[in-house]
Amino acid sequence: MLKKEYDVLRDLAAQVAEAAAAPEMAERARLWKSCNALKPERPMLYVDPQNGWRELVPDSALVCDDPFGRELEYRLRQLIFRRRFIYDDYPFTREFPVAVCISKSGYGLENKTVDSGYAGGAYHIDPSLTSEADMAKLHAADISVDYKATVERMLIAQYALGDYLNVVPAGVGGFRYGLTRILIHWRGLDNLMYDLYDNPGLIHKLMRFLCEQQMREAGFFEDNGLLSLNNRPYSVTGSGGITLNDELPADGFAGRVRLKDMIVWGESQEFSSVGPAQFEEFVLQYQLPLLNRFGLVDYGCCEPLDAKFDLLVKHLPRLRWLSVSPWSDRRAAAEKIGGKYVYVYKPNPSKICSPAPDYASASAELRETVGIARGCPMHIIMKDTNTFYNQPERITRWSELASQIIGAI
């Protein structure tokens, strides 16, 4: 990187450090811990713009030309935008993680898709597994670690940011066990739905393979000291909120992170329309050996879990967070969740991501849901915001309204 690029990064790092030093950050962290410990003082709010970030911090706003410098700059500018224009409970910290360079190959079957032509838009899956014979192509994934590149990135980040931020190496800090997401990209969603009746044995073989491989990979990361705690101020629960808690790491922790010191995320959005019995048979039984190796469990994403809550509660003793998506029965969820788990509510993003935003409807929906979930520890997560129609003020206005509703401001 050129000197002018380092100067830009240092200036941005100073602004992030200033945000982290604000007195309200300690209180935000305390409130997240209290809520995650099932002792909530109010609903907690987290905004995750996801693909919408490309409009909030566009490429045209970046100054660095060096690829790694550009990566650092993008992350810093996201934090600064959040501090200035998003009214949520994000607890800024001086800790700045830099990922360990880990790469993993596929399993022998390619993912073939026909795209819509819109970046980040819809696509159709062209199945690569057309018959059981194609299973012969499957093999274990190759995992490699580039320690030299990791050290180089750490040194550059420390030189650029270290006067203001605490640069730390970040190993594997997130485990997502959906399994069916991988499966549909091999088989195709239509074929998979037919297989439930026409070829159930094939699904069982594929899910068994995926479970065994994911177990092997998790063990590899644990055995090689490549895990990082994911209850940090910047860690989130799968598709949910900040994971700050004092329950992890588990007893006996001596500095080397184990799977039982971590939070894991399970979901199966592809089985949204599949009943509980088939969900248990074809999905959950293969997720359980994975999920139950971890310290705490977060379950669900966009799929409604209305008919599956009882199964999850029965089989996941360390379950802590449950997703309540825009397509869920919010009242049924509140009855099932009560004070025993965290009610992770995702407001409908279309109300602020459509051509004409409807703030009145968005506010009414959120106010109603907060009333429905009263008594439940609650995370409110605005996500899946793929576009703001190049109007960044939309997320500012929504987050301000949401903060007023929950009493955060």
Pairing mode of beta strands 113-115, 123-125: antiparallel
Which residues are CB-neighbours of 345 under 8 A, at least 6 positions away?
324, 330, 369, 373, 378, 379, 380, 381
pLDDT at residue 240, rounded to an integer = 84
pLDDT at residue 121, rounded to an integer = 78
Q: Which CATH class is domain 3-406?
A: alpha beta
pLDDT at residue 81, rounded to an integer = 98
Task: Tell me if 380 sits within 8 A of 345, measured CB to CB.
Answer: yes
pLDDT at residue 362, rounded to an integer = 97
Give, as one character, the DSSP assignment of residue 227: B
Which residues are CB-neighbours of 308 under 8 A, at least 6 positions away?
276, 279
Which residues are CB-neighbours of 99 under 8 A, at least 6 positions away?
153, 169, 170, 171
How does the average pLDDT of the chain come out, rounded?
96
Sketch the domain layout of the chain as residue ranges.
3-406
- Distance set, CA 189 to CA 111, 118, 124, 196, 208 (Å): 13, 21, 9, 11, 18
Closest CA to 242 of 374, 395, 88, 350: 88
- Mean pLDDT per 10-residue section of the chain, whose length is 409 residues: 95 98 98 98 96 96 96 98 98 98 95 81 90 96 97 97 97 95 95 96 98 98 98 91 97 97 97 96 98 98 95 97 96 96 97 96 97 97 94 98 89
Which residues are CB-neighbours of 150 under 8 A, at least 6 positions away?
100, 101, 169
Where do we find the tokens 């026409």?
198
pLDDT at residue 409, rounded to an integer = 63
Rg (CA), the chain: 22
Helical (H) or strand (E) element with 170: strand 166-170
Residue 258 neighbours by CB distance under 10 Å: 16
Task: Tell me if 217 sits within 8 A of 140, measured CB to CB.
Answer: no
Task: Tell me if 282 sits within 8 A of 258, measured CB to CB.
Answer: no
Kindly state the tokens that stand for 299: 């379950």
